[in-house]
Amino acid sequence: MAFEKPGQFFGRAARQGGHKQLFVAVIAVVALALAACTSTQPPTPGESDIREVLETAFENIEDRYAGDVTSRDLSIDGLNALADADPVLRIAVADETVSVIYDDRPLASWKSPPSRAYERWAALCANAMAVSLQESTTLSKQGREAALKRFFRGGLANLDQYTRYATPGEAGLTRARREGFGGLGITINYEEGRTSIRKVHTGTPAFKAGLQVGDTITHVGDIPLMGLSQRSVVARLRGPVHSLANLIVHRPGAPGPLKINVIRAHIILPTVETKQDGNILTIEISGFNQGTSRSLGKALADAEREMSGGLKGIVLDLRGNPGGLLDQAVAVADFFLNDGRIISTRGPHRRANQIFDASWGERVRKLPIVVLLNGRSASASEIVAAALRDSGRAVVVGASSFGKGSVQTIIRLPNGGELTLTWAHMIAPSGFSLQGHGIIPAICTSGEEERLGISRAMAEKNAAGLRFLRMHLAKRQVNRHDPNRARKLCPPSKEKPAEDLAVARFILGNLSIYNQSLKDGGPMIAEH
């Protein structure tokens, strides 16, 4: 399945220092997803381009990274990684010099700059890469961009796991997912070279043009799609905003092929889906991109109108949600809070130290809320869950979340690539760090024994069943001072069991259990 889409998530622009850069507060776990390639390839960077890329990267890493690292560290690690591509290529580092040696033959040597002289180290590395590319057949066949990617992989290897480099092509994919792209507004199935429509998103160009679920798209313009890769198909479906896509479509029951013209528009991937079950509204949020809070606001308004005041509770399903934009996570939490802390961030850079409080006033009635989490709920999801839990606004059900407590900023590089850089750590309203611990549910469903017991308690709906749930909450209360033990008792799980939704609806329908869950299922006790 694909959504004529590329890659992962984004926020605000700023200019800082001597380079034009794009900084974005991002809190996402990198998910493996098949995504579309951009329609045009960026130019291959030359030596001067590489120097500019490295200079921008080194400057920002030294200035903003949430740890101590120098341009010298990055350079030596990166050059050694580059040399690893060719068994006869070697980087020799002495006290005063850095040399490139090929087949035991010195090619060039430079005087080592001071450790934090990022401009001089960038120039040295660019020169060393140019010499290596010229001499090494292995590297020259792979090309400059591959060499630059290899350099960054080695240079960043000793930093945290979320700091990474994306090539221009990879960055184009992730930008499109964060910010949107020119497209039709369909989700496609791609099987054995056949492209069919799985979903037509309401209000999009595809919806207005009359495309339907089950349609098979055979051509875009004069180009047949059969035989193209999925990435190539998606690239054909996408294009500049306001451009025309001439489609040939086979529709079940139609006498022949249909010609349908669609004018592309700016598409932001849908991340919010709702389902009404009696007087309970389930809201599933799959990620946090630029359209998430707006979509949530519309979904809540629609539900209030359609249910005519009959809404009795909300299930906020964040299972499998890897995260996204920090400002969107804050905005989503703000929907359900009247006041108080949502999240704070801390880091060595002055701009990394921020406080985010509820400011808009609660926009839903004081309804009971249950948040569902699992082991794939991370970063932005954990911000929302922590804010609602710590404020006493929601009961958390499911499995322990991922435990990603860092914030990344995205730096646009001169070659069109991106550097994702960890620059802050998140602190929950309780003062508790999310890193490595995550959110521990009040009611855990990740253990088989727990799941069976809870299911039995809900089925019995009697004093014995309610007593089991109260015992479950009491056990959770005992371990509030020991997050590691609590996490072991409720381990992360990738599953999305039906029991989670059943538990959520059960406790929303039993206010005594709900209120006790709020009381006993509160945050871990932060150690100071």
> Would you place residue 478 in the very low, low, confident or very high pLDDT band (cuts 50, 70, 90)?
very low
Contact 179, 16 (CB under 8 A): no
pLDDT interval class at 6 (50, 70, 90): very low
Q: How confident is the model at residue 31 (pLDDT cuts 50, 70, 90)?
A: very low
User: Model confidence at 348, in pLDDT bands (50, 70, 90)?
Assistant: confident
3-class DSSP state of 3: coil
For residues 340 and 308, the model is more confident at 340
Q: In this structure, which amino acid lies at residue 210?
A: G
Q: What percent of the chain has pLDDT over 90?
A: 64
Q: How confident is the model at residue 451 (pLDDT cuts 50, 70, 90)?
A: low
Per domain, the residue ranges of the chain are 45-161, 181-267, 272-405+424-520
Predicted confidence (pLDDT) per residue in 213-266, tens digit: 999 999 999 999 998 999 899 999 999 999 999 999 999 999 999 999 999 999
Are residues 403 and 438 in contact, defined by beta-carbon separation less than 8 angstroms?
A: yes
Q: What are phi and psi of 275, to 5 degrees?
A: -145, 130
Closest CA to 426 of 352, 357, 368: 352
472: left (phi over 0), alpha (psi -120 to 50) or beta: alpha
In this structure, is the dihedral angle defined by the CA atoms of residues 357, 347, 377 and 444, taken in order, positive or negative? negative
**Residue in 36, 31, 30 with CA at minimum distance from that of residue 188:** 36
Rg for the chain, CA atoms, rounded: 26
What's residue 481's pLDDT?
A: 61
Top mean-pLDDT range of 294-308, 417-431, 455-469: 417-431
Give percent above pLDDT 70 in the chain. Answer: 82
Question: What is the C-alpha separation between 103 and 86, in angstroms, rounded?
Answer: 10
Three-state DSSP string of 385-431:
HHHHHHCCCEEEEECCCCCCCEEEEEEECCCCCEEEEEEEEEECCCC
Q: State how far the alpha carbon of 359 is from the alpha carbons of 290, 396, 517, in Å.
A: 19, 23, 26
Q: Please compute the mean of the pLDDT values over residues 347-364 and round it to a whole number.
A: 86
Beta bridge partners of 411: 419
pLDDT of residue 427: 94
Q: Which residues of 286-314 are buried (b: 16+ CB within 10 A; e: fewer)?
A: bbbbbbbbebbeebbeebbeeeeeebebb
Classify domain 272-405+424-520 at the CATH class level. Answer: alpha beta
Give yes or no for a contact between 262 and 298, defined as CB atoms under 8 angstroms apart: no
Least confident span in 151-155, 465-469, 502-506: 465-469
Residue 105 has pLDDT above 50, yes or no: yes
**Is 290 strand, coil or helix?**
coil
Which pLDDT score is estimated for 204? 94
The DSSP line for 50-83 is HHHHHHHHHHHHHHH-SS---HHHHHHHHHHHHH
* CB contact at 8 A, 422 and 379: no
* Amino acid 60: pLDDT: 96
Question: Has residue 114 got a pLDDT over 90?
Answer: yes
Q: What is the pLDDT of residues 63-91, one digit of tens each?
A: 999 999 999 999 999 999 999 999 999 99
Top-confidence residue, 239 or 517: 239
- 139 vs 184: CA distance, rounded Å: 40
3-state secondary structure 223-285: EECCCCCHHHHHHHHCCCCCCEEEEEEECCCCCCCEEEEEECEEECCCCEEEEEECCEEEEEE
Q: Please tell me the predicted confidence (pLDDT) of residue 97.
A: 95
Specify the residue for token string 């990603």: 404
Residue 477 pLDDT > 60: no
Q: What is the mean pLDDT of the chain?
A: 85
Enumerate the active-site residues: 379, 390, 404
> Quick check: helix, strand or coil at residue 49?
helix
Tell me if residue 371 falls in helix, strand or coil: strand
Residue 16 has pLDDT above 90, yes or no: no
Helix axis angle, 380-390 to 326-334, nearest 10°: 30
Q: What is the pLDDT of residue 37?
A: 29
CA atoms within 13 A on the CB side of 216: 16
Residue range 181-267 forms a domain whose CATH class is mainly beta
Which one-letter DSSP state was computed for residue 479?
G
**Residue bearing tokens 């069919």:** 196
What would the two tokens of residue 2 be?
Answer: 């694909």
pLDDT for 364 beyond 80? no
List the beta bridge partners of residue 255: none
pLDDT computed for residue 142 by the predictor: 94
Mean pLDDT value across residues 341-367: 88
Q: Which residues make beta-bridge pairs with 355?
A: 344
Can you tell me the distance from the alpha carbon of 371 to that of 47, in angstroms, rounded to the nearest whole number?
51
Weakest-pLDDT range from 161-170, 207-216, 232-241, 516-525: 516-525
Confidence of residue 443 (pLDDT cuts 50, 70, 90): confident
- Is 400 buried (19+), middle (13-18) or exposed (0-12) by CB count in 10 A? buried
Least confident of 10-14, 219-223, 281-285, 357-361: 10-14
Q: What is the C-alpha separation between 487 and 282, in angstroms, rounded? A: 26
Q: Which residues contact 229 (CB under 8 A, 6 or more apart)?
A: none
pLDDT band at 516 (very low <50, low <70, confident <90, very high): confident
Helix (H, G, I), strand (E, B) or coil at 453: helix
- CB hemisphere CA count around 203 (13 angstroms): 6
Task: Give 473's contacts (C-beta < 8 A, 6+ positions apart).
Answer: 442, 443, 516, 517, 520, 521
* Residue 215 burial by Cβ neighbours in a 10 Å radius (0-12, 13-18, 19+): buried
